[in-house]
């Protein structure tokens, strides 16, 4: 673990989905790349790892702008995101992140309430959370791309999570895997764990404002019970 700060006793946790609960980012990157290729735009897969956490429509707008193409109207963006979602689902991408179940159990055992906070509108994953992680989340404890106007790296998704919990930022931790998500958690004022589960180096998460960084989810799950015990003292 590398750490920038000291954790306070948490009452709530705001937990990202892709790359944290599901090992879904490789399939997302492939689905994005394929969809954009169908639109005549070529991007390396790493591009999509860097944009991870943004909403689908923000991702599409940013990629068109970057390619020097006119940003498509909203209806076209919706069609493209539906196509990307279809490609993602066809890849059969529902792979649980190793260690995520133990991470959630450690929070539950310490009496920390959990809320999902995702930039995704990918129903095939969101709708599966309650079955894949039984008891980890109350049915209403989810903030998805439909619940806010400005996506990560803006703090709004995490601020919505805080108001759902009815807690202050200092009472809540964020669990993220991507630079833009870490930025959002940090900007919301929460102690932010950065878990490097993908292609980007852990130091990028520290630079994005993570308070503590782990190099894998199993490593984080191993350390979390003690972190929470110490935070309580
Ligand atoms: Ca993520």
Residue 214 is predicted with a pLDDT of: 96
What contacts 115, CB < 8 A, 6 or more positions away?
12, 13, 14, 15, 137, 141, 142, 143, 161, 164, 165
Residue 124 is predicted with a pLDDT of: 81
- Cα of 40 from ligand 1 centre, angstroms: 26
- Cα of 54 from ligand 1 centre, angstroms: 9
List the beta bridge partners of residue 191: 173
Residue 231 is predicted with a pLDDT of: 84
Q: What are the φ and ψ backbone dihedral angles of 219, each rounded to 5 degrees? A: -65, -40
- Cα of 177 from ligand 1 centre, angstroms: 5
Residue 2 is predicted with a pLDDT of: 57
Residue 187 is predicted with a pLDDT of: 97
Mean pLDDT per block of 10 residues along the chain (233 residues) reads: 66 96 93 97 92 93 95 96 95 90 97 95 87 95 94 97 96 96 97 92 94 96 94 69
- Cα of 22 from ligand 1 centre, angstroms: 9
- Cα of 233 from ligand 1 centre, angstroms: 30
- Cα of 88 from ligand 1 centre, angstroms: 15
């Amino acid at each position: 673990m590398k750490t920038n700060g000291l954790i306070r006793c948490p009452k709530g946790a705001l937990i990202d989905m892709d790359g944290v609960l599901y090992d879904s980012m490789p399939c997302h990157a492939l689905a994005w790349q394929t969809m954009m290729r169908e639109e005549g735009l070529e991007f390396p897969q790493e591009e999509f790892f860097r944009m991870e956490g943004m909403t689908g429509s923000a991702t599409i707008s940013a990629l068109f702008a970057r390619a020097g193409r006119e940003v498509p109207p909203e209806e076209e963006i919706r069609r493209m995101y539906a196509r990307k979602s279809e490609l993602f689902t066809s890849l059969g991408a529902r792979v649980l992140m190793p260690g995520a179940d133990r991470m959630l159990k450690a929070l539950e055992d310490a009496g920390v309430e959990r809320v999902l906070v995702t930039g995704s509108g990918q129903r095939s994953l969101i709708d599966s959370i309650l079955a894949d992680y039984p008891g980890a989340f109350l049915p209403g404890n989810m903030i998805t791309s439909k619940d806010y106007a400005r996506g990560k790296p803006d703090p709004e998704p995490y601020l919505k999570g805080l108001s759902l919990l009815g807690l202050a930022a200092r009472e809540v931790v964020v669990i993220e895997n991507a630079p833009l998500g870490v930025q959002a958690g940090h900007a919301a004022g929460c102690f932010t764990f950065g878990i490097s589960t993908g292609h980007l180096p852990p130091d990028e998460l520290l630079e994005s404002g993570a308070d503590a960084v782990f190099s894998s989810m199993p490593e984080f799950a191993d350390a979390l019970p003690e972190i929470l015990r110490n935070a309580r003292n």
